[in-house]
Amino acid sequence: MKIKHLKVFSFLFFLLSLQSCIDTYDIDFSQKNNVLVVEGFLTDDYLNPDTIKIQYSNFVDGNTFLSSITSVKASIVWQSGKETSLIEQKTGGFLPPKDFRVNPTEKYALRFSLPNGQQYESSYEQISVTPPILKVYDRFNPQSKLSDDGKKFLSANEVYVDFQDVPKQKNFYLWRYTHFERIVHCLTCYASQYEPKSDKCSIKLPSFNRTPYYDYQCAGECYEIIPSKQFSVMSDVVSDGEVVTGRLIAKIPYHFIYGCLVEIQQMSISPQMYSFFRNLELQGKSNGGLADTPAAAIVGNINNLGSSTEKVVGYFGVVSLQKNRYWIERKSANGPYEYIINHVPFEEPPTSSDPSRPPVAPCVKSEFRTPFRPQGWL
Amino acid sequence: MYSKLLITALLLCVVSSNIFSQTSHAIIVSVRDSSDNTPLKDVVIKIDAKRANLSSNNEGIHTFFLPTGEFGITISHLGYRTFRQKLLVKNSEISLTVSLINVAKELDEVTVNSQAINGNVARPLLGVSALSIKAIKKIPAMMGETDVLRGLQMLPGVTSVGEAANGVNIRGGTTDQNLILLDDTPIFNPTHLFGLFSIFPPDAVSGLELYKGGIPAKFGGRASSVIDINLINPSLDKFKMTGGISLVSNRLTIETPIVKEKLSIMVSGRVSFNDFIFKLGPPKLQNIKANFYDVATKLFYKMNAKNTFTFSGYLSKDFFQTDLLGTIGNVNATSTQYDYQTSNAALKWFHAFNSKLNLQTSAIYTDYQPKTLLPELNSDNKVSLESGIIYNQLKASLNYNLNEKHRLEGGISTILYRINPGVLNPGSSKSVNYKSVPEERSTESGIYLEDEFTISKKLTLSAGLRYSFYNALGGTVRSYNPLFSKTDFNVTDSTIYKSGETSASYGGFEPRIALKYSLSELSSIKLGYSLMRQYLQVVSNTTTPLPTSRWATSNTYVKPQVSELYSGGIFKNSQNNIYEFSLEGYYRSTENVLDFKPGADFLFQPYIETQTLQGKGKAYGLELMIAKKKGEVTGWINYTYSRALNQVKLSDRFDEQINGGAWYATNFDRPHSFNATISLSQGKHHEFGFTFVYNTGRPFTVPEGFVQYNNVKYPYYVERNNDRIKDYHRLDFSWTIRNPSMTKKRWEGSWTFAVYNLYGRANAYSVYLRSEKGLNAYQLTIFGSPIPSLTYNFKFM
């Protein structure tokens, strides 16, 4: 046998052996827990302040949901001794008073008490200047990331920012974004049809011989508001004082052929806050690879004053925001869509007997949807 | 003699009519012992697998009859190697003289214990295994690459975290607690392609010795074990060339005398360039680029009968790019590439003063240079992160065979470590600055004396004492506020030490004691105690260290690891030393084992104490091993029960303890382990190999649940390593056909067909969780299906 034949045989053998490397693994997620979670920062964006939410995250039978806590008393504590009560909102969460302004020379902490008498307080944080975003740009990458099961690549428009790092000091940055996508379908009915009068999927269909759902178009314009799936953090340890270019801060999936809008928020954060969000970023990125960081509890700077063993998830930060609204054209995007509704749309077919069908579904305003065109939408 | 001939003639007469009627012919076979020509009676002769109807005499002459035709003849006898041959019967009687090989007088086919005959029983060696390259080559190889580290994992007490593990775990130790020596030079990264293959060129290695129990006093610097791998000594009188071609790499080794009986050289090279195949694999592999080469050389100069000089050199280089590994978060790069190189050299002078006293002096140099390359977006520029260890050692050892009762060895050694923790070279980047962490310098010295004292015929004592001392030189030492964790924000003061000035020093005695008591000539019991100190370690919080993981020496806050090992065992050999049996137990406690704070980051961190934690470790186990060293069927099986646990609690603070300060299973705690290696030799041309491996699944961390934070679900971890991945098992097979032309030529080729993971077990390498599309757990499998391979090997002598 000649050497080239050996290579060919070996190569064929190797191809035979290249099968899927990732399979689902059974883990019993039947545990129950509820963990206190604190979201939101104290910012210098006084027109659109962050809502500080104090909730329980519950995990029951493999499902995660948030439950609100009533009669929470929350305040901002100034290191100089002052205390400002936060105002509870009807929709949940707390906002600082409208005339509250962050003093750059002051340090602030979050203090709150629960109806069960437990008292909590964060460490003190101080605002620092955030440099403006110099430039935002995007690039379509057909192999932007692997699917969860590792079996295919998913495409995305990758969004990058450039900014001038503040020289001669240690700086840490955090980015979050909100992604706006125009949607066509506002409602999906499973094994049923939409009934506009009751505004429910109340017409049951016993035999459903195709896809087990119908999608209903929106009554007018409707936009999905998609918050960041991940935080992105960076230290200027290698780029002190330089113009930082090409910082990847978002991967926007190829949902549709039309463009979409991304509102980017850039903020300077404290080193402790950087450590917390870096740990969070690493925990979310785990892919079973060789360099995965060990599993670690995501515990921030909020402590139960009566029990050192309680682990509260969340970090109370005081930050200055720099914003940029960026339009993604998706001109070079191609390939299969990653549908927002998580399935290929299938509309109820029209019938000659009832011209009112299929009906349209209203675009109901919520935290994640709006009928109003977002500012910056082209 | 006449009587024997007469019997034969009579027998021939009696059956003659039968013979002629069936046209049968007499087959007269004389069977003798190959070593002393003794006639062998009572042999079993089979014709085409059926027992022949024999008439035999006391002179080992056996007669039977066969008709015309072609037959397969097999001659076997208890304690001897079976003889097989084709027999063509034509029109006359056939006389055949067969010499059977006495298995007991053969050289060992596999050596998996101390090399001398009966040495495992007779010498006070505990937890010592010697594995010859011949034995390693009999083990079915993954993708055709004979692998020293995979061979090592077939021994009791040796495991790894999975297929892509950058090193092995010995008796519950971490990978960096093993001192790996290649011809006395230390190896800091023992694998190519991120753990898939070991870096030791198989044709250039003569064998290895693993010391996991009683470690001789001449070795120091690691808390767990010593793996001593030797390159072959080039022949002073013969040219020899060996090589091979496999899917992964091509190999060539040449040994040749330069000046006959005076000077000779060995050069061995291996190169891989087959990463194009990854593009045809599943998406996860498609972006992998992976190539490597290694070159080993040895120059041997025999000046005279009393003086020899040896120079050993080794160079290894890897290039690897994969999406499976993370990038360096603070540099904006489009991908991550790894480029790492090992350069080792050793010069040794051996001087024999007389037949009892000799001196060996060595100068050793190792330079390990891992590099991470970060290509920038919209640019040809690559930012590079370079680090490295430069290791210089001088050592001398004196061996003195005082008399039959005392074998003495003493010596001194000193090492200078120069560690470059990281230099960031921005190239033409406008966003990235040049950055470096100051070089860390330290010295480690040792002095030792050891005596193997034969107290009586039954009792032997090996008593060694090593004293090691360590100095960290120069640098800045911080003081921290004791009320808080050691972080960059709790610094109260700093002291700057000049280059060469001692900033921290440690040291102490390291006794090594082993006692052997012979129960009989073929059995003994042994007890041992060893203390080891380790001043150099990998600081990496990944499951298996990456080739680019940082090494760091002890400093004011990072204390040296100190391990104490207690072991005992029963050793027994069968008559003629064909079978070896051993049962060993051990308990090791280690102080100052290294662990890491949640989210630890060592990149550009000069003060690693802000990221590390230190605690206690304990490991214990029982190892049972049975080996068959000679005969047609050779191999070994072993079972190990072992545990490896750590405890870390520096304070009550959340970030200074693990699992609330309770003992927890380490990543490589695998209680049950069973290995079997069987080699079946069928004549000179065919050999079959089987290996079977079983290990309890290694621990991993399952979250207590998930929490929803900022619209994303995150796993909520409470305890580390609170569950195990599924058990690991695998069967491998190989079939080697040697010299298929069956003619004796200087060029001899052989083919090996091997199947790794024969029954396609999808062993989990790791389990991870994703929550983007619901809560799902996935297992990553490195080799989830059978991997066939075909390798061509040759030798030219």
**A10, A126, A235: which to substitute to probe chain B, counting the most B Cβ within 10 Å?**
A10
Give dist(CA B332, CA B336) in Å, integer.
10
Most confident of A329-338, B17-26, B273-282, B298-307: B298-307
* pLDDT the model gives residue A319: 97
Does the pLDDT at position B316 exceed 60? yes
For residues B550 and B539, the answer to whether their CB atoms sit within 8 Å is yes
Of A228, A234, A299, the CB nearest to B330: A234
**B332, B602, B767: which to substitute to probe chain A, counting the most A Cβ within 10 Å?**
B332
Minimal-distance CA residue of chain B relative to A36: B707
Residue B794: C-alpha distances to residues A11, B86, B165, B205 (Å): 21, 27, 30, 16
* pLDDT the model gives residue A287: 67
Does the pLDDT at position A98 exceed 50? yes
Of A127-131, B73-77, B636-640, B756-760, least confident by mean pLDDT is B73-77
Q: Residue B22: pLDDT band by 50, 70, 90 thresholds?
A: low
Q: Residue B597: pLDDT band by 50, 70, 90 thresholds?
A: confident
Of A97-101, A180-184, B74-78, least confident by mean pLDDT is B74-78
- Residue A1 placed within a domain: no
Average pLDDT over every residue of A260-282: 93
Under 8 Å CB pairs connecting chains A and B tally to: 288
Burial of A22 (0-12, 13-18, 19+ CB in 10 A): buried
- Residue A257 placed within a domain: yes
Average pLDDT over every residue of B195-214: 90
Q: Are A244 and B332 within 8 A, CB to CB?
A: yes
A273-311 per-position pLDDT tens digit: 998 998 888 877 776 666 677 788 888 999 999 988 888
Higher-confidence position of B787 and B332: B787
Type of residue numbered B479? S
Q: What is the mean pLDDT of chain B?
A: 87
Average pLDDT over every residue of B731-739: 92
DSSP per position, B229-289: EEEPPPPSS--EEEEEE-SS-EEEEEEEEEETTTEEEEEEEEEE--GGGGGGS-HHHHT-E
Q: Which two tokens stand for residue A180?
A: 């706006």
Does the pLDDT at position A271 exceed 70? yes
A61–chain B Cβ distance below 8 A for any pair: no
> Which residues in B lie closer than 8 A to residue A240 (C-beta atoms)?
433
> Which residues in B lie closer than 8 A to residue A290 (C-beta atoms)?
164, 166, 194-195, 324-325, 542-544, 546
Does the pLDDT at position A128 exceed 60? yes
> Which residues in B lie closer than 8 A to residue A243 (C-beta atoms)?
430-431
Q: Are A10 and B246 within 8 A, CB to CB?
A: yes
Type of residue numbered B411? G
> Which residues in A lie closer than 8 A to residue B773 (C-beta atoms)?
148, 342
- Residue A22 placed within a domain: no
My answer on whether A143 and A191 are in the same domain is: yes
* pLDDT the model gives residue A16: 46
Give dist(CA B655, CA B613) in Å, integer.
9
- Residue A282 placed within a domain: yes
My answer on whether A46 and A113 are in the same domain is: yes
- Residue A19 placed within a domain: no
Q: Are B541 and A279 within 8 A, CB to CB?
A: no
B549-594 per-position pLDDT tens digit: 899 999 999 999 999 999 999 999 987 888 999 999 999 999 999 9
b/e code A330-368 from CB counts within 10 Å (16+ = b): beebeeeeebbbeeebeebeeeeeeeeebbebbbeeeee
> Which residues in A lie closer than 8 A to residue B714 (C-beta atoms)?
280, 283-284, 298, 313
Of B323, B543, B778, the CB nearest to A22: B778
B161–chain A Cβ distance below 8 A for any pair: no
Full domain range(s) for residue A104 = 27-127+271-316
Give dist(CA B54, CA B64) in Å, integer.
5
* pLDDT the model gives residue B109: 55
Higher-confidence position of A202 and B683: A202
What is the count of structural domains for chain A? Answer: 2
Q: Which two tokens stand for residue A164?
A: 């001038």
* pLDDT the model gives residue B5: 44
> Which residues in B lie closer than 8 A to residue A18 (C-beta atoms)?
280-282, 285, 785
Give dist(CA B301, CA B453) in Å, integer.
33
A3-41 per-position pLDDT tens digit: 445 445 454 455 444 444 777 888 776 667 789 999 999
233-252 of A, contacting B, C-beta below 8 A: 233-248
My answer on whether A220 and A334 are in the same domain is: yes
B453-508 per-position pLDDT tens digit: 999 999 999 999 999 999 999 999 999 999 888 988 889 999 999 999 999 999 99
Report the percentage of chain A scoring pLDDT > 70. Answer: 92
Q: Are B776 and A233 within 8 A, CB to CB?
A: no
Average pLDDT over every residue of B627-654: 91
Average pLDDT over every residue of B732-757: 87
Helix (H, G, I), strand (E, B) or coil at A136: strand
271-310 of A, contacting B, C-beta below 8 A: 271-272, 275, 278-299, 308
Does the pLDDT at position B288 exceed 80? no
Does the pLDDT at position B624 exceed 80? yes
> Which residues in A lie closer than 8 A to residue B754 (C-beta atoms)?
none
b/e code B584-598 from CB counts within 10 Å (16+ = b): bbbebebbbbbbbbb
Q: Which two tokens stand for residue B365?
A: 């140099």
Q: Are A288 and B779 within 8 A, CB to CB?
A: yes
Burial of A378 (0-12, 13-18, 19+ CB in 10 A): exposed
For residues B771 and B712, the answer to whether their CB atoms sit within 8 Å is yes
Higher-confidence position of B107 and B746: B746
Choose the final residue of a domain: A301, A316, A331. Answer: A316
Report the complex ipTM: 0.87
Chain A: closest CA distance from residue B300 (Å): 33
- Residue A16 placed within a domain: no
A336–chain B Cβ distance below 8 A for any pair: no
* pLDDT the model gives residue B600: 83
Burial of B160 (0-12, 13-18, 19+ CB in 10 A): buried
Does the pLDDT at position B206 exceed 80? yes
Residue B769 host element (H or E): strand B766-770
A168–chain B Cβ distance below 8 A for any pair: no
* pLDDT the model gives residue A2: 47
Report the percentage of chain B scoring pLDDT > 70. Answer: 91
Average pLDDT over every residue of B180-200: 92
* pLDDT the model gives residue B552: 95
Report the percentage of chain B scoring pLDDT > 90. Answer: 54
Residues 6+ apart with CB under 8 A from B157: B127, B170, B171, B212, B621, B623, B640, B642
Average pLDDT over every residue of B429-445: 92
10-49 of A, contacting B, C-beta below 8 A: 10-11, 13-27, 29, 31-33, 35, 37, 39
- Residue A172 placed within a domain: yes
Burial of B46 (0-12, 13-18, 19+ CB in 10 A): middle
Minimal-distance CA residue of chain A relative to B385: A238
B507-543 per-position pLDDT tens digit: 999 999 999 999 998 999 999 999 999 999 999 888 7
Helix (H, G, I), strand (E, B) or coil at A272: helix
* pLDDT the model gives residue B29: 86
My answer on whether A45 and A135 are in the same domain is: no
341-360 of A, contacting B, C-beta below 8 A: 342
My answer on whether A213 and A352 are in the same domain is: yes
* pLDDT the model gives residue B220: 95
* pLDDT the model gives residue B325: 57
My answer on whether A138 and A160 are in the same domain is: yes
Of A10, A143, A229, the CB nearest to B790: A10
Domains and their CATH numbers in chain B:
2-102 (2.60.40.1120), 119-229 (2.170.130.10), 230-796 (2.40.170.20)
B649-658 per-position pLDDT tens digit: 988 887 888 9
- Residue A9 placed within a domain: no
My answer on whether A215 and A336 are in the same domain is: yes
Q: Are B709 and A314 within 8 A, CB to CB?
A: yes
B171–chain A Cβ distance below 8 A for any pair: no
Q: Residue A336: pLDDT band by 50, 70, 90 thresholds?
A: confident
Does the pLDDT at position B7 exceed 50? no
My answer on whether A188 and A134 are in the same domain is: yes
Beta bridge partners of B182: B185, B229
B96-128 per-position pLDDT tens digit: 888 887 766 665 555 555 444 566 777 788 888
* pLDDT the model gives residue B77: 79
Does the pLDDT at position B408 exceed 60? yes
A149–chain B Cβ distance below 8 A for any pair: yes
Q: Are A229 and B769 within 8 A, CB to CB?
A: no
My answer on whether A138 and A98 are in the same domain is: no
pTM (whole model) above 0.80: yes
My answer on whether A308 and A213 are in the same domain is: no
My answer on whether A220 and A340 are in the same domain is: yes
Of A20, A64, A275, the CB nearest to B706: A64
The CB-side HSE value for B707 (13 A sphere, CA atoms) comes to 26
Q: Are A290 and B785 within 8 A, CB to CB?
A: no
Residues 6+ apart with CB under 8 A from B403: none
Does the pLDDT at position B154 exceed 80? yes
* pLDDT the model gives residue B498: 93
Average pLDDT over every residue of A333-346: 87
My answer on whether A145 and A255 are in the same domain is: yes
Of A236, A289, A294, the CB nearest to B325: A289
B662–chain A Cβ distance below 8 A for any pair: no
B156-181 per-position pLDDT tens digit: 999 998 887 888 999 999 999 999 99
A74–chain B Cβ distance below 8 A for any pair: no
